[in-house]
Amino acid sequence: MQLSNLRVFKQKLNKRQRTLLVSILFSLILCSVVLTGFLLNEDRIATNLEVRNASPSLDHLFGTDWLGRDMFSRTIMGLSLSIGVGLIGAIGSACISIILGVVAATMGKVADSIVTWLIDLFLSVPHLVSLILIAFTFGGGFKGIVLGIALTHWPSLARVIRSEVMQVRSLEFVQVSKKMGKSRWWIAKEHIMPHIIPQILVGILLMFPHAILHEAAVTFLGLGLSPHEPAIGIILSESMRYLSVGMWWLAFFPGICLLIIVRMFDKVGDHLRMLIDPHNAHR
Protein backbone atom coordinates (compact mmCIF):
# COMPACT_ATOMS: atom_id res chain seq x y z
CA MET A 1 0.00 0.00 0.00
CA GLN A 2 2.73 2.43 0.87
CA LEU A 3 4.50 1.84 -2.45
CA SER A 4 1.29 2.31 -4.40
CA ASN A 5 0.54 5.52 -2.51
CA LEU A 6 4.04 6.75 -3.30
CA ARG A 7 3.52 6.03 -7.01
CA VAL A 8 0.19 7.89 -6.99
CA PHE A 9 1.82 10.84 -5.24
CA LYS A 10 4.64 10.96 -7.81
CA GLN A 11 2.15 10.80 -10.68
CA LYS A 12 0.25 13.80 -9.27
CA LEU A 13 3.43 15.91 -9.31
CA ASN A 14 4.50 17.53 -12.54
CA LYS A 15 8.12 17.77 -13.62
CA ARG A 16 8.60 21.19 -12.03
CA GLN A 17 7.24 20.05 -8.65
CA ARG A 18 9.39 16.90 -8.64
CA THR A 19 12.44 18.96 -9.50
CA LEU A 20 11.69 21.38 -6.67
CA LEU A 21 11.28 18.55 -4.14
CA VAL A 22 14.54 16.87 -5.18
CA SER A 23 16.38 20.21 -5.03
CA ILE A 24 15.07 20.90 -1.52
CA LEU A 25 16.05 17.39 -0.37
CA PHE A 26 19.58 17.68 -1.76
CA SER A 27 19.96 21.18 -0.33
CA LEU A 28 18.95 19.95 3.14
CA ILE A 29 21.49 17.12 2.94
CA LEU A 30 24.26 19.49 1.87
CA CYS A 31 23.39 21.99 4.61
CA SER A 32 23.40 19.21 7.21
CA VAL A 33 26.87 18.10 6.09
CA VAL A 34 28.21 21.66 6.37
CA LEU A 35 26.63 22.27 9.80
CA THR A 36 27.75 18.91 11.14
CA GLY A 37 31.30 19.58 9.96
CA PHE A 38 31.43 22.94 11.71
CA LEU A 39 29.80 21.65 14.90
CA LEU A 40 32.04 18.61 15.32
CA ASN A 41 34.57 19.00 18.09
CA GLU A 42 38.27 18.62 17.36
CA ASP A 43 38.34 15.90 20.01
CA ARG A 44 36.43 13.67 17.57
CA ILE A 45 39.53 13.45 15.38
CA ALA A 46 42.06 13.26 18.24
CA THR A 47 44.75 10.57 18.22
CA ASN A 48 43.76 7.33 19.95
CA LEU A 49 46.34 4.61 19.40
CA GLU A 50 44.21 2.03 21.18
CA VAL A 51 41.80 1.81 18.21
CA ARG A 52 44.20 2.52 15.34
CA ASN A 53 43.75 0.72 12.00
CA ALA A 54 40.24 -0.41 12.97
CA SER A 55 38.01 -1.51 10.10
CA PRO A 56 34.48 -0.01 9.69
CA SER A 57 32.13 -0.90 12.54
CA LEU A 58 29.17 0.51 14.47
CA ASP A 59 31.56 2.41 16.75
CA HIS A 60 33.52 3.84 13.81
CA LEU A 61 31.38 3.86 10.67
CA PHE A 62 34.29 4.64 8.34
CA GLY A 63 36.94 2.91 10.47
CA THR A 64 40.01 4.57 11.96
CA ASP A 65 43.39 5.49 10.52
CA TRP A 66 46.96 4.65 11.60
CA LEU A 67 46.69 7.16 14.47
CA GLY A 68 43.30 5.96 15.68
CA ARG A 69 41.43 9.00 14.36
CA ASP A 70 37.77 8.47 13.50
CA MET A 71 37.51 8.55 9.70
CA PHE A 72 33.79 9.41 9.68
CA SER A 73 34.42 12.62 11.64
CA ARG A 74 37.47 13.46 9.50
CA THR A 75 35.47 12.90 6.32
CA ILE A 76 32.54 15.11 7.41
CA MET A 77 34.91 17.87 8.55
CA GLY A 78 36.86 17.56 5.31
CA LEU A 79 33.71 17.82 3.20
CA SER A 80 32.59 20.87 5.18
CA LEU A 81 35.98 22.50 4.65
CA SER A 82 35.97 21.71 0.92
CA ILE A 83 32.46 23.14 0.54
CA GLY A 84 33.54 26.32 2.32
CA VAL A 85 36.59 26.72 0.08
CA GLY A 86 34.47 26.02 -3.00
CA LEU A 87 31.82 28.54 -1.92
CA ILE A 88 34.32 31.37 -1.40
CA GLY A 89 36.14 30.57 -4.63
CA ALA A 90 32.92 30.27 -6.65
CA ILE A 91 31.58 33.59 -5.34
CA GLY A 92 34.87 35.30 -6.15
CA SER A 93 34.87 33.78 -9.62
CA ALA A 94 31.24 34.84 -10.14
CA CYS A 95 32.11 38.44 -9.22
CA ILE A 96 34.86 38.45 -11.86
CA SER A 97 32.42 36.97 -14.39
CA ILE A 98 29.78 39.62 -13.67
CA ILE A 99 32.19 42.52 -13.99
CA LEU A 100 33.83 41.31 -17.19
CA GLY A 101 30.58 40.09 -18.77
CA VAL A 102 28.79 43.41 -18.18
CA VAL A 103 31.82 45.44 -19.26
CA ALA A 104 32.16 43.42 -22.48
CA ALA A 105 28.51 43.87 -23.40
CA THR A 106 28.04 47.54 -22.46
CA MET A 107 31.37 49.36 -22.78
CA GLY A 108 31.94 49.25 -26.51
CA LYS A 109 33.78 47.14 -29.06
CA VAL A 110 37.27 47.67 -27.61
CA ALA A 111 36.24 46.43 -24.16
CA ASP A 112 34.35 43.54 -25.74
CA SER A 113 37.40 42.51 -27.77
CA ILE A 114 39.67 42.60 -24.71
CA VAL A 115 37.29 40.58 -22.53
CA THR A 116 36.62 38.07 -25.32
CA TRP A 117 40.37 37.62 -25.76
CA LEU A 118 40.80 37.03 -22.02
CA ILE A 119 37.98 34.47 -22.01
CA ASP A 120 39.48 32.59 -24.96
CA LEU A 121 42.93 32.73 -23.34
CA PHE A 122 41.78 31.20 -20.05
CA LEU A 123 39.57 28.61 -21.77
CA SER A 124 42.53 27.46 -23.89
CA VAL A 125 44.40 26.32 -20.75
CA PRO A 126 43.03 23.48 -18.56
CA HIS A 127 41.60 24.75 -15.27
CA LEU A 128 43.72 22.43 -13.18
CA VAL A 129 46.98 23.58 -14.75
CA SER A 130 46.14 27.25 -14.25
CA LEU A 131 44.91 26.54 -10.71
CA ILE A 132 48.16 24.78 -9.76
CA LEU A 133 50.27 27.63 -11.16
CA ILE A 134 48.26 30.34 -9.39
CA ALA A 135 48.08 28.43 -6.09
CA PHE A 136 51.85 27.86 -6.20
CA THR A 137 52.47 31.53 -7.02
CA PHE A 138 50.48 32.68 -3.99
CA GLY A 139 52.21 30.21 -1.69
CA GLY A 140 49.52 27.53 -1.52
CA GLY A 141 47.41 27.14 1.60
CA PHE A 142 43.89 28.49 2.00
CA LYS A 143 44.68 31.83 0.32
CA GLY A 144 46.40 30.24 -2.65
CA ILE A 145 43.68 27.70 -3.37
CA VAL A 146 40.83 30.23 -3.03
CA LEU A 147 42.56 32.74 -5.31
CA GLY A 148 43.35 29.95 -7.75
CA ILE A 149 39.71 28.87 -7.94
CA ALA A 150 38.44 32.46 -8.23
CA LEU A 151 40.90 33.37 -11.01
CA THR A 152 40.40 30.25 -13.16
CA HIS A 153 36.68 29.37 -13.08
CA TRP A 154 35.14 32.61 -14.36
CA PRO A 155 35.45 32.37 -18.22
CA SER A 156 32.42 30.15 -18.97
CA LEU A 157 30.07 32.16 -16.75
CA ALA A 158 31.47 35.43 -18.12
CA ARG A 159 30.66 34.28 -21.64
CA VAL A 160 27.07 33.40 -20.62
CA ILE A 161 26.60 36.75 -18.85
CA ARG A 162 28.00 38.63 -21.84
CA SER A 163 25.50 36.88 -24.12
CA GLU A 164 22.58 37.56 -21.76
CA VAL A 165 23.50 41.23 -21.37
CA MET A 166 23.70 41.67 -25.14
CA GLN A 167 20.18 40.27 -25.47
CA VAL A 168 18.78 42.45 -22.69
CA ARG A 169 20.34 45.68 -23.92
CA SER A 170 18.54 45.30 -27.27
CA LEU A 171 15.13 45.26 -25.57
CA GLU A 172 12.76 48.18 -26.01
CA PHE A 173 12.80 49.53 -22.44
CA VAL A 174 16.62 49.64 -22.48
CA GLN A 175 16.56 51.61 -25.74
CA VAL A 176 14.07 54.04 -24.21
CA SER A 177 16.40 54.59 -21.22
CA LYS A 178 19.28 55.33 -23.60
CA LYS A 179 17.19 57.91 -25.47
CA MET A 180 16.30 59.52 -22.14
CA GLY A 181 19.99 60.09 -21.49
CA LYS A 182 20.59 57.46 -18.82
CA SER A 183 24.24 56.47 -18.36
CA ARG A 184 25.61 53.03 -19.19
CA TRP A 185 26.24 52.27 -15.52
CA TRP A 186 22.68 53.26 -14.59
CA ILE A 187 21.27 51.00 -17.30
CA ALA A 188 23.51 48.14 -16.18
CA LYS A 189 22.43 48.52 -12.54
CA GLU A 190 18.69 49.12 -13.04
CA HIS A 191 17.87 47.11 -16.16
CA ILE A 192 20.53 44.51 -16.86
CA MET A 193 21.52 43.16 -13.43
CA PRO A 194 17.97 42.09 -12.40
CA HIS A 195 17.72 39.99 -15.57
CA ILE A 196 21.02 38.15 -15.14
CA ILE A 197 20.70 37.30 -11.42
CA PRO A 198 19.14 33.84 -12.17
CA GLN A 199 22.01 32.99 -14.51
CA ILE A 200 24.50 34.12 -11.85
CA LEU A 201 22.91 31.88 -9.19
CA VAL A 202 22.89 28.88 -11.51
CA GLY A 203 26.45 29.64 -12.58
CA ILE A 204 27.68 29.70 -8.97
CA LEU A 205 26.00 26.37 -8.19
CA LEU A 206 27.40 24.75 -11.33
CA MET A 207 30.86 26.10 -10.51
CA PHE A 208 30.72 24.45 -7.10
CA PRO A 209 31.39 20.85 -8.24
CA HIS A 210 34.40 21.90 -10.31
CA ALA A 211 35.75 24.09 -7.51
CA ILE A 212 35.45 21.32 -4.90
CA LEU A 213 37.02 18.66 -7.12
CA HIS A 214 39.86 20.95 -8.19
CA GLU A 215 40.51 21.96 -4.59
CA ALA A 216 40.74 18.29 -3.60
CA ALA A 217 43.03 17.54 -6.56
CA VAL A 218 45.44 20.40 -5.84
CA THR A 219 45.45 19.59 -2.11
CA PHE A 220 46.11 15.93 -2.99
CA LEU A 221 49.20 17.06 -4.92
CA GLY A 222 50.43 19.03 -1.88
CA LEU A 223 49.86 22.54 -3.26
CA GLY A 224 46.54 23.30 -1.58
CA LEU A 225 45.39 23.35 2.02
CA SER A 226 47.73 22.78 4.94
CA PRO A 227 48.50 19.13 5.85
CA HIS A 228 47.18 19.89 9.34
CA GLU A 229 43.69 20.52 7.98
CA PRO A 230 41.23 17.60 7.71
CA ALA A 231 40.69 18.23 3.99
CA ILE A 232 39.52 15.45 1.68
CA GLY A 233 42.54 15.90 -0.58
CA ILE A 234 44.89 15.47 2.36
CA ILE A 235 42.98 12.41 3.62
CA LEU A 236 43.20 10.77 0.19
CA SER A 237 46.88 11.67 -0.17
CA GLU A 238 47.77 10.22 3.23
CA SER A 239 45.77 7.05 2.65
CA MET A 240 47.64 6.09 -0.54
CA ARG A 241 50.58 4.60 1.38
CA TYR A 242 48.26 2.34 3.41
CA LEU A 243 46.17 0.88 0.59
CA SER A 244 48.77 -1.80 -0.15
CA VAL A 245 48.37 -3.23 3.38
CA GLY A 246 44.60 -3.64 3.03
CA MET A 247 43.31 -0.44 4.72
CA TRP A 248 40.92 0.26 1.85
CA TRP A 249 38.44 2.23 3.97
CA LEU A 250 40.87 5.15 4.37
CA ALA A 251 40.40 6.16 0.72
CA PHE A 252 37.10 4.53 -0.23
CA PHE A 253 34.69 6.31 2.10
CA PRO A 254 36.17 9.85 1.79
CA GLY A 255 36.40 9.44 -1.99
CA ILE A 256 32.83 8.17 -2.46
CA CYS A 257 31.46 10.88 -0.13
CA LEU A 258 33.28 13.55 -2.15
CA LEU A 259 31.78 12.23 -5.38
CA ILE A 260 28.26 12.12 -3.85
CA ILE A 261 28.52 15.71 -2.59
CA VAL A 262 29.84 16.93 -5.94
CA ARG A 263 27.05 15.12 -7.77
CA MET A 264 24.44 16.65 -5.44
CA PHE A 265 25.70 20.16 -6.13
CA ASP A 266 25.67 19.39 -9.84
CA LYS A 267 22.08 18.17 -9.64
CA VAL A 268 20.92 21.17 -7.59
CA GLY A 269 22.46 23.49 -10.20
CA ASP A 270 20.79 21.63 -13.07
CA HIS A 271 17.44 21.61 -11.26
CA LEU A 272 17.65 25.32 -10.48
CA ARG A 273 18.36 26.05 -14.13
CA MET A 274 15.33 23.95 -15.05
CA LEU A 275 13.12 25.77 -12.54
CA ILE A 276 13.98 29.24 -13.86
CA ASP A 277 13.58 28.12 -17.48
CA PRO A 278 10.16 29.32 -18.66
CA HIS A 279 9.89 26.40 -21.10
CA ASN A 280 9.81 23.98 -18.14
CA ALA A 281 7.50 26.05 -15.96
CA HIS A 282 4.27 24.10 -16.57
CA ARG A 283 5.41 20.63 -17.56
Q: Tell whether the model's pLDDT for residue 5 goes beyond 60.
A: no
Residue 47 counted as domain residue:
no
Q: How many structural domains are present in the chain? A: 1
Beta strands in the chain (DSSP E): none
Residue 44 counted as domain residue:
no
Average pLDDT, the chain: 80
Residue 76 counted as domain residue:
no
Q: Tell whether the model's pLDDT for residue 96 goes beyond 80.
A: yes
Residue 133 counted as domain residue:
yes
User: What's residue 271's pLDDT?
Assistant: 73
Residue 267 counted as domain residue:
yes
> How far, in Å, CA of 37 to CA of 256, rounded?
17
The whole-model pTM stands at 0.78
Which helix (H) or strand (E) segment is 149 a member of?
A: helix 141-152
**What CATH number is given to the structural domain containing 281?**
1.10.3720.10
Cα dist from 222 to 215, 229, 237, whole Å: 11, 12, 8
Residue 24 counted as domain residue:
no
Residues spanned by the domain of 205: 85-283
Q: Tell whether the model's pLDDT for residue 65 goes beyond 50.
A: yes
* Mean pLDDT calculated for residue range 86-102: 87
User: What's residue 233's pLDDT?
Assistant: 84
Residue 30 counted as domain residue:
no
Residue 92 counted as domain residue:
yes
Tell me the per-residue pLDDT of 222-281, one tens digit each, with 9 for 90 and over.
Answer: 777 777 777 888 888 888 888 878 888 888 888 898 888 888 887 777 777 776 665 554
User: What's residue 9's pLDDT?
Assistant: 44
Q: Tell whether the model's pLDDT for residue 8 goes beyond 50.
A: no
DSSP for 92-136, written as a single string:
HHHHHHHHHHHHHHHS-HHHHHHHHHHHHHHHTS-HHHHHHHHHH
